[in-house]
Amino acid sequence: MHIVLTIRQIRSAVAAQRKRGKRIGLVPTMGALHQGHMSLIRLAKRKSDFVVVSIFLNPAQFGPKEDLSKYPRDLKGDTAKCRRAGADLVFAPSVSGIYPQGFCTNVTVEGLTEGLCAASRPGHFRGVATVVCKLFNMVQPDVAVFGQKDAQQAAVIKRMVSDLNLPVEIVVAPIVRERDGLAMSSRNAYLTPAERAQAPALRHALQLAKRLVKKGRRSAEAIKREMAKMLDIEAPLGVVEYVEIVDNENLKPVRRIDGKALVALAVKFPSARLIDNTVLQRLMPVPTWA
């Protein structure tokens, strides 16, 4: 497995594989890789013949009060993990390579970026859409893999690809969790022992929502209230930023659970902000004649 650092190098490497008839896969990351990222790489390997993992800590998706400066950086360790997961190439461009002097073009996906995480992270999804669009232009993958944990990000990328007619298939991989149910995230390492002990409350609240729907509860507001109560009890060190139930496709709030809906939440602990989500689905009764 090789590492390339420039746009010219990545284009040359990918072009050589295309000449051999290879299907190109891309897994965009910001580094600090964990088992969740490894699962994305393994899925990309099943969906393509030649897997590129980009490692780029994108400053454009961090706000002025966010954790860019302390975000973990370990290119050597990340590269070793990519190799073990089956990646064929690591693309690790510099900030100046992605955003050269005078850069002033951005990609904005409207509508999907108005609620959920966007409310507290203005400009975040513009930074995400811009860098992913650039990576797609540089690597020109046939398929790109993203994680369900960042459900809003995945929805934004899918909309961008559709709206801009980008020739790339978007695959969303299931959330990978720790043994206690906490969704794997690079930011989990920031948590203090006390915060880490309370962090599984996010998963517990999502499981509560599923149980309530299974019991016949349909009111989104009522379910959200029960989830918030649980979070207040089980994660007193955290501040609930949002608990929302939205349409699975357009991310607009729903009032009743009729069919599929996405329940998403964010809790801000003193050391890290955590997010999680799951899909709720009302099970329709089976007709007596079926």
Q: Is 36 exposed, middle or buried (0-12, 13-18, 19+ CB in 10 A)?
A: buried
DSSP reduced 3-state for 140 = coil
- At 213, list the tokens: 């729907």
CB 115 within 8 A of CB 93: no
Q: Which amino acid is at 261?
A: A
Tokens 């929302």 belong to 244
Assign 3-state DSSP to the chain and report helix, strand, coil percentages, each to 5: 40, 20, 40
37 counts as catalytic: yes
CA distance linking residue 29 with residue 44, whole number of Å: 13
Q: Is 237 exposed, middle or buried (0-12, 13-18, 19+ CB in 10 A)?
A: middle
CB 187 within 8 A of CB 256: no
Catalytically annotated residue among 2, 34, 37, 204: 37
Sheet holding 260-268, edge to edge: 239-247, 260-268, 273-281
CA distance linking residue 204 with residue 206, whole number of Å: 5
Produce one character per residue of 247-262: b if its CB has 16 or more CB atoms within 10 Å, e if not.
eeeebeebeebeeebb
CA distance linking residue 128 with residue 130, whole number of Å: 5
For the annotated catalytic residues, the residue numbers are 37
